[in-house]
Structure 1
Amino acid sequence: MTTHRKKPTRSAMGAVFAYTARHWARRKRMLATVAGAIVLATLADVFIPFFSGRLVDALLLADTARDVALSRALEAFAAMVALGAGMVALRHWGWMGMIPLSLGMMQDIAQETFARVQRFSTDWHANSFAGSVMRKVTRGMWAVDQLNDTLLLALLPSAFVLVATTILLAVQWPLMGAVVAIGALIYVATTVVLATTYIAPASKLSNAWDTRVGGTLADALGCNAVVKAYGAEDREDARLAAVVARWKRRSARTWYRHTLSGTGQHVVLLTVRSTLAAVGLWLWWRGQATPGDVTYMLTTYFVVHGYLRDVGMHVHNLQRSVNEMDELVELHATPMGISDHPNAAPIAITAGEVRFDAVDFHYGAHTTPLYEGLSITIKGGERVGLVGHSGSGKTTFVKLIQRLYDVTGGQILIDGQDVSQATQQSLRSRVAIVPQEPILFHRTLAENIGYGRPGARIDEIERAARLANAHDFIARLPKGYETLVGERGVKLSGGERQRIALARAFLVDAPILILDEATSSLDSDSEQLIQAAIARLLKGRTAIVIAHRLSTVRTLDRILVFDQGRIVEDGPHGVLMRNPNGRYRHLFEQQTGDLRAAE
């Protein structure tokens, strides 16, 4: 897995904002309510300084016109109290509205991203760390919450206060308005430049290493049985320590840059504050401002200073949110690899005939094709074995039937229907598969057996388990079919996992069955019972058996011998064994060491 990431660009930020805007568009009314409440609440911060200035001027009249002073002071005070109360109520309303807005978006994003990742191609999953992908999704999901808070609860009121305050000051004192406007622009520009060009690259890289840490943890913990088997705990500790050390260095650089950027922003704020105070004193000296006006200016500045200071933090939070969402957005921009055709329809499989018609196929960027013009027909109900050395094309053959990959030429037909024109869900639901290494969910045995047929009754699940010779060991468990099997079925033996996978396939009752040496993990006592059950199951179905032990294909109707992507022999066991120079006979002799006994 590569850890080198491109530096954040405007296009990346634009992609994140566009992604967020699409989710906002689903909740326009809620968004408008939150934004409107926050903007109205912010009006108090704009006008309270004005009335505080009027209050000071009223107090200065106390020596000459006490009644007038009291009246004006009370009016200013009442206005300040009303504005404060309105601010509290509106801000509460806005913040309350943020809860369903953000949680709704986070829910949609988690579900939609999971749905998309689930449908990525087999190649994509083979080249991705599950732990890293989970980290991208969860980190990006929480970044949405921070992005909403930053934009709606922080930057929106900050921008409103800065613009409204500048206008109010400029109306009375153009010079003061110019100082605030220019100072705010310089500060915001400095903050944005530092955040996007100085901090963001470092933050992007530290996020990539954070993802790597998650992937390394998941990789080691998911293979803990192997770690224990080889006493490799110290090696895995060292492996993680190396990754965490890189993460620490990258994160430290990011945090140092945050600190240096903050210091630079405070220098700009100090300059603005000093300039504004000097201009206020100058206006008072020239008689263009009363003490109340100066109080208004200074109070306004303190408000503006607070918002400006927070703008720096908000811009950094915004950039951090964008960085953390970027990997999530990239998942949504990643091509699906294998997707349903726009006019795809559910496939209807009855006989189960499988035909490869001049199929060409090569993996990814490989220049050498595995298949060139491969044509073969498997009749409905025919039981066919696939044999050959590792890498000869057997597994690819069945993966193409399931459309886990798309052919690069020709077509694959099932009962005359092109699989590329069928919906993937309908195709795979009609093809049952038992892999050589069965994978179970950390769920109950009943749920694992019934996975391919949602809604199956417990008696149907038990019947499938009996056919797979699994019912007896399940019945001996304290919780029976309600027993949790552990992550990937770790609580069961290899043979038990294989029998659960067989039971799952029996329950599906699909017209096409693929067995990848389904008895390889069974003990000798169970194997005979399973072989008999499989023989019953195969009747009336198209069965494709990938054989590693050639003794398992002797009774099949037909055997296809693969060699470097070509079918070099085709026929039943007896016919193939009569060819003294045949590849199948050679493979069989290698395994048995006794040709006459095998015959």
Structure 2
Amino acid sequence: MLNWLSNLSDPFVEAPVVRPPSGMLGFFRYFLAPVRGLLAWLVVVSLIASLSELALFVFLGQLVDLTTDNPSPGTFFSDNAWLLTGMAFVLLVVRPVSVLLSRALTTVSFVASLTALVRWRSYRYVLRQSLSFFQNDFAGRISQKVMQSGPALRESVVNVVEGVWTLVIYLAGTIILFAGLDAWLILPVVLWALAYAVTIVRLVPPVRARSQALAEANSSLSGRIVDGYTNIQAVKLFAHAEREDAFAKEGFVRQVDSFRRLATSILMMMASLNVINSLLIFSVTGLALWLWSVGQISVGSIAMASALVIRLNQMSGWILRTITSLFENIGTLQNAIETISRPNDIVDNPEAKPIAVTGGEIRFENVRFHYGREDGGVIDDLSLTVAPGERVGLVGRSGAGKSTLVNLLLRLYDLEGGRILIDGQDISGVTQESLRSRIGVVTQDTALLHRSVRDNIRYGRPDAGEDEIVAAAERAEAHHFIPNLRDFRGKTGFDAHVGERGVKLSGGQRQRVAIARLLLKDAPILVLDEATSALDSEVEAAIQDQLYSLMDGRTVIAIAHRLSTIAVLDRLVVMDEGRIVETGSHRELLERDGLYAALWRRQSGGFLGGDPGFGDERSAAE
């Protein structure tokens, strides 16, 4: 039975990754559509459970009248056998089965599936957001939004079914039953319902707003805490623990203040509810007693009416808390929607197809890009062609636009003018996944996943075998330190986890793992952005032999501030303020005595493979 309930809905059923609607109702419809059948069954079963409970109050009134007016108690059971059997069936079968099934459908089937469904689809969409989306926010805050969206939407729906729906059934049932006793009994219930509605309309919206503020405060606090923990090395190096305390405390103070404001609103609602509930019990019971005194209703009717309003009194507090929770969750959800449903800046063209890289020619045609700034361009009207198999080095001062040009090639940002073509295919017209799968990248700021060394290397090619992973590690000169690794769980070697962003490894070790990943990927286009900057000279010399071997037959774009590492490439392109100012071989640029020559003269020490500009003509010409 439990297995059947668990398998009524699959939250991970295949579905396209699309942007969730930004409107509240649309957001609900989008995520409830896959479970609408289950939701319909839940509503029906909840209806049966509520009606069976209302029937108990009818039975109570009938039993009081039957026992009060019965002249011969000895024949009570035989005289009322069918009625008592029906009561017993509802009490022992219909009510417990419907209540249990309603609870089982809610907890086992609906809650787990809907929570996972919302989180899973939200996670997949957010994961495909542009790089700038993540650069402009805390990672902890984004993950908090994704995680809280599932419970918030789930609880909102459960609140409606178990609270609002139950209240509607009880109110309608009470009014119908009172109409059968005496129409005057309806009046206090209707007045109570109107007062209840006014309480909700006037006092619940502030709860929603303050709940949204609390959700934002919680997310911001989580982001501040995660930011401090993620950058713990900088905190310790600069001895700023107390500064981080103050930064986090601002978040804690804001969160506590938001929580107190929300609690105050809830308290005001509870006070109002206590007043109108007391008036309901007093008025209905008093009116029932008066009607009995004038012979309008029976003693059983008094019992049924009193029991119903006492039950409404008990339910009203719970239902108001449920409705309050509903608005709290809607506020939380609205706060999450602002992040989750944000449009993606970088999207595939509907007609996009996988890229086909045959030769590897790269053409930048009149490229313009300035990160949305109004004071000038980072890349201005740049044109550059890299021939198939050509190895090109990008040179220039910091901020010249070298890394930006590479990011544009990877389509981490969309161009503001011009176009980029690979083998004649505009990269804006191919799928992002296929584009990046055909370009191997190693950057200076190497970040690894908090997984095993094996998983990080295999990230270059997920279907790689163990022998290929080990071979890539050996070629990247990583096989010396990997066997000595040990994580806090006692895992060693390739099984050892590297910590968040690879913090348990040194900069050089992280870069070697990244290079092993690149070697395993074996892409036809290579982008090396300060790929060996964190390595010592001996290791760099060994790895460069592997990199130069990997470059054979591939199109390469390399960036390096240490000019000797790229002086041997086929062509050097010198950039300044977003433009190409010089191009040529190392020797041609030195003879031109321009910007490159000035940069070269400022370099000192640490050159590998000799100094191509000073006597080693063979290295410079290679």
Fold shared by both chains (TM-score > 0.5): yes
Aligned partner of 1:483 among 487, 496, 509: 496
**Residue 185 (structure 1) aligned with residue 227 (structure 2):** no
- TM-superposed deviation, 1:567: 0.7
Change (3 A) 1:90 1:77: same
Tell me how far 1:124 sits from its aligned partner.
Answer: 0.5
- State the shift of 1:34 in Å: 1.6
Tell me which residue corresponds to 1:124: 133
Q: Please state whether the residue corresponding to 1:287 is helix, strand or coil.
A: coil
Pairing partner for 1:406 from 406, 414, 422: 414
With over 3 angstroms needed to count, the CA separation of the structure-2 counterparts of 1:576 and 1:365, relative to structure 1, is: closer
Tell me the equivalent position of 1:114.
123
Worse overlay, 114-123 or 103-112: 103-112
The two structures have a TM-score, normalised by structure 1, of 0.93
Distance (Å, rounded) in 2 between the aligned partners of 1:14 and 1:440: 33
Mapped partners of 1:219, 1:122: distance in 2 = 18
Moved more, 315-324 or 468-477: 468-477
Q: Distance in 2 between matches of 1:144 and 1:101?
A: 12
Pick from 158, 162, 174 the counterpart of residue 165 of structure 1. 174
Question: Contact 1:187/1:269 (CA < 8 Å) preserved in 2?
Answer: no
Q: Is the 8 A contact 1:58 1:72 kept in 2?
A: no
Say whether residues 1:435 and 2:435 are aligned partners.
Answer: no
Q: Distance in 2 between matches of 1:546 and 1:504?
A: 19
Unaligned runs of 5+ in 1: 1-11
Q: Does 1:147 align with 2:156?
A: yes
User: Structure 1 CA distance, aligned partners of 2:254 and 2:312?
Assistant: 40
Aligned counterpart for 2:562 among listed residues 549, 555, 570:
549
Tell me, in whole angstroms, the C-alpha distance in 1 between the residues paired with 2:328 and 2:122. Answer: 20
- Matches of residues 85-484 of structure 1 in structure 2 within 5 Å? 85=92, 86-98=94-106, 99-196=108-205, 198-364=206-372, 366=374, 368-477=376-485, 479-484=492-497
> Does 278-287 or 380-389 show the bigger shift?
278-287
Return the letter of the residue paired with 2:135: A
Contact (CA 8 Å) 2:285, 2:306: kept in 1 or not? yes
Task: Give the equivalent residue in structure 1 for 2:531.
Answer: 518
Any idea what the Cα deviations from partners look like across 1:126-169, whole Å, max 9, x if unmatched? 01101111111222222233223212233222211111221221
SS at match of 1:392: coil
C-alpha separation in 2, matches of 1:16 and 1:527: 55
Shift of 1:505: 0.6
**Who is 1:8 aligned against?**
none
- 2:14 aligned residue: none
Out of 567, 583, 601, the residue aligned to residue 589 of structure 1 is 601
What SS does the aligned partner of 2:137 have?
Answer: coil
In 2, Cα distance between equivalents of 1:500 and 1:367: 40
What's the offset of the Cα at 1:340? 0.8
Contact kept? 2:163, 2:323, Cα under 8 Å: no
TM-aligned CA deviation for residue 77 of structure 1: 4.9
Q: 1:109 to 1:521 in 2, by over 3 A?
A: same
Match of 1:30 among 13, 22, 38: 38
Per-residue displacement from partner, 1:402-458 (whole Å, max 9, x unpaired)?
Answer: 000111122110000000010000000000100101111111111111102111011
How far the C-alpha of 1:246 sits from its partner, in A, is 1.7
Question: What residue number does 1:499 align with?
Answer: 512
> What percentage of residue pairs aligned between the two structures are identical?
35
Instruction: Determine the C-alpha separation between the residues in 1 that align with 2:494 and 2:171.
Output: 65
Q: State how far apart, in whole Å, the 1-side matches of 2:376 and 2:84 are.
A: 84
Contact 2:209 2:331 in 1 (8 A): no
CA contact 1:385–1:553 (8 Å) conserved in 2:
yes
CA pair 202-328 structure 1, distance change in 2 beyond 3 A: closer
Q: Which runs of 5+ in 2 are unaligned?
A: 1-19, 487-491, 606-610, 617-622
Q: CA deviation at 1:341?
A: 0.7
Q: Aligned to 1:554, what secondary structure does the other structure show? A: coil
The 1-side partners of 2:604 and 2:73 are apart by 116
Tell me the equivalent position of 1:83: 90
Q: Name the stretch that deviates more: 512-521 or 221-230.
A: 221-230
Q: TM (normalized to structure 2)?
A: 0.90
Name the counterpart of 2:6.
Answer: none
SS at match of 2:556: strand
Aligned-pair distance for 1:102?
1.8
Distance 1:106-1:598 versus aligned 2 partners, 3 A rule = farther
Q: CA 1:182–1:15 in structure 2 vs 1: closer, same or farther (change >3 Å)?
A: farther
Q: Tell me how large the CA RMSD over aligned residues is.
A: 2.2
- CA–CA separation in structure 2 for the residues paired with 1:229 and 1:503: 30
Residue 6 of structure 1 corresponds to none
Contact 2:449–2:501, Cα closer than 8 Å, also in 1:
yes
Residue aligned with 2:356, SS: coil
- Structure 1 residues 426-435 or 88-97, which shifts more? 88-97
Q: How many equivalent residue pairs?
A: 585
Q: How far does residue 226 in structure 1 lie from its aligned partner after superposition?
A: 1.6
User: What amino acid is the match of 2:229?
Assistant: L
CA distance in 2, matches of 1:18, 1:94: 26
